[in-house]
């Protein structure tokens, strides 16, 4: 018999298995298999496949493989229900969501046990982390439904939302997506992961029990083919996907040119940075919560541990001691720390990546794990920054440890990734923590903590971790929007520029050569060609015919101008005011230029005056772009900071050659971005005339770069460029599709619309929406108190 003194000495836990009786009763009720949940009822099971318990291999249930006809039926049901659901007062939608939250609370243990049975995660994580967050999200968005009309004036729901969720947090990801969509007045067709559909199906039953109207929530099960049928369905207005970067790219290409809204929350390879003054014991526990939570099957897991060289040895020793104490085994045991890997396919992927790391020189330190679909907690040392273990997302309980010497080196290592989802920073120096937080390229940064979440805090990444935010005001806004402008006559693709000599150029005393503008200097095009610019009565001049190499040079110049983002809003405002002043001083010259393109005298004067006013407006806004402090969990100050996107490519509309350029470029530089702009292909000289205005207005070189020429060919190069962080395109339908497809390479954010749809001279030509699109939110978590 074990004595109490022995237990206190070893701190070993006795067996404490969870009773699965209620969950198995629910499974027994569906022993014949699950159909899809469409229009408030389950269809008859058909073409079923097994769903297993990864810890034991036991088949738990059979679910239906959804086909195109099932997706069609679900979308049709959602479309029929959406107008009535959207027409409900916000209070009524809130009541439905409050009722749903209450019923989830009443069935919380059933859902937690089902999640553990189906996913393999430890019960204490399902019970104590996932379910409380699920319920919190539904309550939180019930509140948004109540106040949406006041919080988002004039906004309308997206419509029918197609949502695809992963297998690592099956129910939590469902709540993250379904709750804001329903709160905003949308209806939903959701596809759960092939491996883990059971809690989504149980959620559907609970939603029906809570009285959610038929057709508002629909669930279609199946594999990736089902998901592709859903995201590609023409009846879907908004797609939200959480999963791998590879699938995210495919969805970006699939939806290109469709006009669908898109939110992507993808992979990550997050840094976990430990400075010399950190509480090392707390940081070790942070590692446990970061990479060994949920078997490391977490997109924001701190898989790259970066430790100050001065404390690397004691930190590694403490981490290895702690790792040896982790319990890997039966997820239903309440003392289990690490459960089962979700599926043998994923287990083999983890093994293959680790084997590759060892072949590249990694040294493994591992705990113990039982036979079966389990993998031990693993720490890899001696890993080079170019190694696959350092760069590839393992999605398992595997972390690397790399020392660094200076904060600058820590930032360089942290940003040495194509991802940008999350980061954790451990230091007792708050000033250092905030300084590093602003430099790390990640959508979420935890200080002295890891994997902290709340429904009020926006979550999401950048670069190949995707775009868009889930949670908080930003997540709710992703399911709402102002009615998109529509063109009476859509913009057509302009003819290719003609580089041959032309007759009829106006006679001038001294010829003016319109060059490219790169890095604050006028530059001849690399190809050495120019093309004629048409006017009302024949050609009015020649413009440089830019090429791929000119775009490359412009992007490099923009990258070098990164200090612009570090300027205060006030400093940027002063430069913008100066630009407006100098444009005003030369208003007559710009008016004549527009008249040369064929504008009437009054229209030309009005466009120049509107451009001046617009520059003043964005100058006024430059020091007013601010974030928020969301109310989240106690003991944490949570900051939702507004940051610039980085380097942005801008393809300007053909019409309004001066005002369209100003309207697209000014909000971006006001927010701290650097721009590579493609002015109106037909009338670029209105933009090239701005060179001297910029030169005399203290605008740093590289903040605005201008490349003239064939807009769509240059836009493709920008959209494909890995060092371009976002792309704005105002042009023809063919160009919209092309830009969105090409952006899938590094998954840059895009804003693409018909160049003729917006009234650039009116209120549609400026506003807060431009500034919101010119920035992205970084969420920083700062714990305080004991």
Which residues fall within 8 angstroms of residue 732, CB to CB, at 6 or more apart? 490, 491, 492, 493, 712, 754, 755
Distance, CA of 303 to CA of 292 (rounded, Å): 9
Cα separation of 615 and 699, whole Å?
A: 13
Residue 87's contacts (CB-CB under 8 Å, 6 or more residues apart) are: none
Contact 711, 688 (CB under 8 A): no
Chain centroid to Cα 646, Å, comes to 15
Beta strand ranges found along 428-537 (DSSP E)? 444-447, 466-467, 480-481, 516-518, 521-523, 530-535
- CA distances (Å), origin 167, targets 189, 248, 297, 299, 422: 17, 15, 9, 11, 20
Q: Which of 161, 299, 300, 652 is catalytic?
A: 299
Given 115, 265, 393, 607, the catalytic residue: 265
- Give Dmax over CA atoms of the chain in angstroms: 107
Rounded to 5 degrees, φ, ψ at 651 are: -105, 115
**Does 741 participate in catalysis according to the annotation?**
no
Would you call 556 helix, strand, or coil by DSSP? helix
Beta bridge partners of 41: 38
Neighbour-count burial of 468, counting CB atoms closer than 10 A to its CB (0-12 exposed, 13-18 middle, 19+ buried): buried
Q: Identify which of 607, 674, 610 has the alpha carbon closest to the alpha carbon of residue 644.
A: 674
Q: Is 265 a catalytic residue?
A: yes
**What are the percentages of helix, strand and coil residues in the chain, rounded to 5?**
45, 20, 40
Measured between alpha carbons, how far is 118 from 130 in angstroms, rounded to an integer?
Answer: 14
**Residue 763: DSSP 8-state:** G
Could you say which DSSP state residue 5 is in? H
Q: Which helix (H) or strand (E) holds 246?
A: helix 245-255
123, 113 in Cβ contact below 8 A? yes
How would you write 174-213 as a 3-class SS string? HHHHHHHHHHCCCEEEEECCCCCCHHHHHHHHHHHHCCCC
Residue 480, beta-bridge partner list: 157
Which residues partner with 650 through β-bridges? 677, 728
Q: Is the dihedral of CA 464, 467, 471, 472 positive or negative?
A: positive
Q: Burial of 745 by CB count in 10 Å (0-12 exposed, 13-18 middle, 19+ buried)?
A: middle
Residue 664 and residue 264: Cα distance in Å, rounded?
25
Backbone angle region of 130, left / alpha / beta, with phi > 0 → left and psi within -120 to 50 → alpha? alpha
Between helix 601-621 and helix 659-670 the angle, nearest 10°, is 0
| Other beta carbons less than 10 A from residue 42's beta carbon | 18
DSSP-derived secondary structure for 55-68: TT--EEEEEE---H
Q: Hey, which residues are catalytic here? A: 265, 299
């Amino acid at each position: 018999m074990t004595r109490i003194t022995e237990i206190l000495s070893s701190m070993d836990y006795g067996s404490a298995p969870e009773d699965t009786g209620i969950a198995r009763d629910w499974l027994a009720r569906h022993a014949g298999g699950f159909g899809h949940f469409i229009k408030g009822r389950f269809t008859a099971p058909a073409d079923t496949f097994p769903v297993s318990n990864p810890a034991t291999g036991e088949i738990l249930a059979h679910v239906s493989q959804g086909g195109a006809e099932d997706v069609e039926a679900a979308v049709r049901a959602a479309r029929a229900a959406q107008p009535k659901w959207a027409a409900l007062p916000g209070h009524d939608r809130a009541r439905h969501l409050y009722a749903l939250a209450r019923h989830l609370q009443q069935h919380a243990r059933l859902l937690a046990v089902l999640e553990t049975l189906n996913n393999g995660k430890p019960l204490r994580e399902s019970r104590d982390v996932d379910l409380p967050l699920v319920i919190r999200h539904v309550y939180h968005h019930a509140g948004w439904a109540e106040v949406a009309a006041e919080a988002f004036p004039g906004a309308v729901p997206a419509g029918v939302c197609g949502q695809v969720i992963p297998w690592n947090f099956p129910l939590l990801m469902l709540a993250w997506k379904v709750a804001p969509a329903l709160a905003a007045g949308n209806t939903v067709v959701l596809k759960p992961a092939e491996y883990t559909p059971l809690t989504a199906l149980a959620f559907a039953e609970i939603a029906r029990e809570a009285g959610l109207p038929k057709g508002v929530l629909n669930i279609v099960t199946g594999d990736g083919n089902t998901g592709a049928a859903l995201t590609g369905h023409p009846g879907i207005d908004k797609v939200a996907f959480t999963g791998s970067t590879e699938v995210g790219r495919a969805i970006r290409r699939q939806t290109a040119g469709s006009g669908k809204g898109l939110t992507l929350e993808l992979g990550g390879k997050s840094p976990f940075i430990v400075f010399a003054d950190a509480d090392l014991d707390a940081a070790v526990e942070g590692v446990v919560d970061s990479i060994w939570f949920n078997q490391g099957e977490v997109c924001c897991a701190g898989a790259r541990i970066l430790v100050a060289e001065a404390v690397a040895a004691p930190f590694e020793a403490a981490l290895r001691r702690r790792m040896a104490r982790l319990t890997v085994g039966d997820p239903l045991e309440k003392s289990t720390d690490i459960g089962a890997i979700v599926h043998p396919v994923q287990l083999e992927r983890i093994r293959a990546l680790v084997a590759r790391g060892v072949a590249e020189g990694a040294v493994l330190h591992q705990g113990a794990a039982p036979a079966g679909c389990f993998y031990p907690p693993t720490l890899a040392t001696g890993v080079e920054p170019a190694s696959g273990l350092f760069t590839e997302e393992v999605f398992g309980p595997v972390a690397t440890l790399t020392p660094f010497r200076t904060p600058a080196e820590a930032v360089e290592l942290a940003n040495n990734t194509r991802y940008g989802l999350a980061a954790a920073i451990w230091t007792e120096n708050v000033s250092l923590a905030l300084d590093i937080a602003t430099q790390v390229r990640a959508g979420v940064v935890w200080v002295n903590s890891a994997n902290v979440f709340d429904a009020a805090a926006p979550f999401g990444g950048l670069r190949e971790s995707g775009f868009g935010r889930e949670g908080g005001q930003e997540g709710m806004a992703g399911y709402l929007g102002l009615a998109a402008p529509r063109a009476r006559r859509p913009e057509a693709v302009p003819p290719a520029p003609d580089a041959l000599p032309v007759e009829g150029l106006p006679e001038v005393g001294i010829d003016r050569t319109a060059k490219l503008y790169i890095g604050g200097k006028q530059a001849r095009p690399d190809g050495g060609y120019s093309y004629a610019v048409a006017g009302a009565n024949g050609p009015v001049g020649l413009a440089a015919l830019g090429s791929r190499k000119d775009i490359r040079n412009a992007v490099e110049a923009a990258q070098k101008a990164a200090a612009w983002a570090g300027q205060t809003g006030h400093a940027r405002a002063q430069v913008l005011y100066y630009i407006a002043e100098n444009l005003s001083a030369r208003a007559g010259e710009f008016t004549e230029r527009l008249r040369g393109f064929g504008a009437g005298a009054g229209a030309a004067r009005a466009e120049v005056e509107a451009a001046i006013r617009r520059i003043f407006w964005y100058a006024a806004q430059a020091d007013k772009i601010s974030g928020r402090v969301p109310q989240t969990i106690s003991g944490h100050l949570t900051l939702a900071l507004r940051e610039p996107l980085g380097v942005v490519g801008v393809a300007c509309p053909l019409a309004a050659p001066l005002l369209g350029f100003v309207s697209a470029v000014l909000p971006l530089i006001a927010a701290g971005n650097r721009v590579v702009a493609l002015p109106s292909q037909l009338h670029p000289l209105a933009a090239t005339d701005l060179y001297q205005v910029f030169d005399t207005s203290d605008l740093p070189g590289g903040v605005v770069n201008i490349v003239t020429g064939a807009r769509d060919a240059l836009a493709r190069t920008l959209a494909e460029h890995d060092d371009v962080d976002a792309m704005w395109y105002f042009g023809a339908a063919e160009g919209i599709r092309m830009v969105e497809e090409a952006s899938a390479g590094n998954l840059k954010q895009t804003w693409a619309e018909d160049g003729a749809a917006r009234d650039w001279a009116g209120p549609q030509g400026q506003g807060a929406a431009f500034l919101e699109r010119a920035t992205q939110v970084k969420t920083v978590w700062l714990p305080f108190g004991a």
